[in-house]
Amino acid sequence: MPNPEQSLSLPGYLQENETSQEFRDLIVSIPTEKGWIANHLHQYQGFWHTTRQLQGVLACQKHFQAQDGDIFLVSTPKSGSTWLKAVMFSLVNRVSFPDTKQHPLLTNNPHALVPFLEMEYIGKENLDFTNYTFPRLFSTHLPLSSLPRSVEDSDCKLVYLCRNPKDTFVSFWHFSNKLTPIDWVATSLEETFDKFCRGVSLYGPFWDHVLGYWKESLERPQRVFFMKYEEMKNEPRIQLRRLSEFLGCPFSLEEENSGVLDEILELCSFENLSNLEVNKIGKLHSGQEHQVFFRRGEVGDSMNYLTAEMVGKIDMITEQKLHCHGLKF
């Protein structure tokens, strides 16, 4: 009997998008599964992408030109990218914006200040980032093996942020529900969980994504800095100091003593960002409301949603896939 997930009506959803023949040929040649809401997920270079997102991935792989000195914030979805975007933007631009009472983050959502590489390229080819101030700061969810070639060929720095898979999963489930139209049936926790554990999640398999960057951070520590959401929550000052050193912009003693580090952390705190007017009512140019990126911002919230069986299953996968490489959550 055919697997219903494999026998999706491909032409139907492809017609909804304005896609090239080349793209349609690719889509029908790679594995496809039903995602969440109305999305389909396609497995490209070992990782799962929505139809729209895959268009951006291909375009950015083809056209993006990295430069020496570029900084990339790479993360798995729902691992705290919004937070770290704010932190990294404040960190590398602290000379230009020394006053956190008159800071771009007070009137702009972090996603509006740091371009999201593959999303920027959806439907576009000729993006020009050459006039961006140095160092250019980008964000991406791309797995290591799918980064544009020019990133590997340039002297760039990659900051990788991940989060324990249970909280990441629960955060994603809430996020996808928020994006579900009110009159649609939301995807159940159980169904989403099953897909996540099978690796069929946005930019999943989660564990392969993390492992790629973890190994790279061990082999090339000057190039990849590996961060965990939980460590940033527990010891933000230590982590921010380490991040500043990795990026080559360490805090001077004078800055430390005058409270610059603490001001950045305060500016970017969940409490501060989530209560700003811009993040309560604004929308991204893609249409997503800013507020969907702020929910609870806590470690361990997944325990309020997952059964003991689910916890056991996800912990087992993490142990099998990551512990042997020295990575624990």
Residue span binding ligand A3P (CB under 6 A) among the ranges 2-10, 46-54, 246-254, 269-277: 269-277
- Smallest distance from the beta carbon of 271 to ligand A3P, in angstroms? 8
Cis peptide bond N-terminal to 143, omega within 30? no
The Cα–Cα gap between 299 and 83 comes to 14
Which residue, 8 or 179, has its beta carbon nearer to ligand A3P? 179
Rule CB under 6 A: is residue 236 a binding residue for ligand A3P? no
- Smallest distance from the beta carbon of 18 to ligand A3P, in angstroms? 27
Rule CB under 6 A: is residue 237 a binding residue for ligand A3P? no
- Smallest distance from the beta carbon of 189 to ligand A3P, in angstroms? 14
Residue span binding ligand A3P (CB under 6 A) among the ranges 11-19, 179-187, 265-273, 318-326: 265-273
- Exactly one of 33, 255, 301, 315 binds ligand A3P (CB under 6 A); that residue is 301
Rule CB under 6 A: is residue 269 a binding residue for ligand A3P? yes
The Cα–Cα gap between 326 and 135 comes to 32
Rule CB under 6 A: is residue 295 a binding residue for ligand A3P? yes
- Exactly one of 270, 291, 313, 321 binds ligand A3P (CB under 6 A); that residue is 270
Q: Which residue has the tokens 């000195």?
A: 69
Residue span binding ligand A3P (CB under 6 A) among the ranges 17-25, 71-79, 123-131, 179-187: 71-79
Rule CB under 6 A: is residue 273 a binding residue for ligand A3P? yes
Instruction: Supply the DSSP symbol for 163.
Output: -
Q: Which residue has the tokens 């919230």?
A: 301
Rule CB under 6 A: is residue 203 a binding residue for ligand A3P? no
Of the candidates 54, 58, 92, the residue with the CA atom closest to the CA atom of residue 72: 92
Pairing verdict, β 32-34 and 40-44: antiparallel
Cis peptide bond N-terminal to 135, omega within 30? yes
- Exactly one of 116, 167, 193, 201 binds ligand A3P (CB under 6 A); that residue is 167
Q: CB 261: neighbour CB atoms within 10 A? A: 19
Residue span binding ligand A3P (CB under 6 A) among the ranges 177-185, 215-223, 244-252, 294-302: 294-302
Instruction: Supply the DSSP symbol for 50.
Output: E
Instruction: Supply the DSSP symbol for 23.
Output: H
Classify the phi-psi angles of 80: left when phi > 0, otherwise alpha if psi is within -120 to 50, otherwise beta: left
Q: Count residues binding ligand A3P (CB under 6 A).
A: 21
Which residue, 27 or 158, has its beta carbon nearer to ligand A3P? 158
- Smallest distance from the beta carbon of 61 to ligand A3P, in angstroms? 22
What is the phi/psi pair of residue 49, to 5°?
-135, 150
**Which residues are identified as catalytic?**
141
The Cα–Cα gap between 149 and 141 comes to 15
Exposure b/e, 179-205, CB count within 10 A at least 16 = b: beeeeeebbebeebbebbbebbbbbbb
- Exactly one of 297, 310, 327, 329 binds ligand A3P (CB under 6 A); that residue is 297
What residues from 76 to 135 belong to the interface with ligand A3P (CB under 6 A)?
77-83
Of the candidates 226, 164, 227, the residue with the CA atom closest to the CA atom of residue 196: 164
- Return residues touching ligand A3P (CB under 6 A): 75, 77-83, 167, 171, 174, 268-270, 273, 293-297, 301
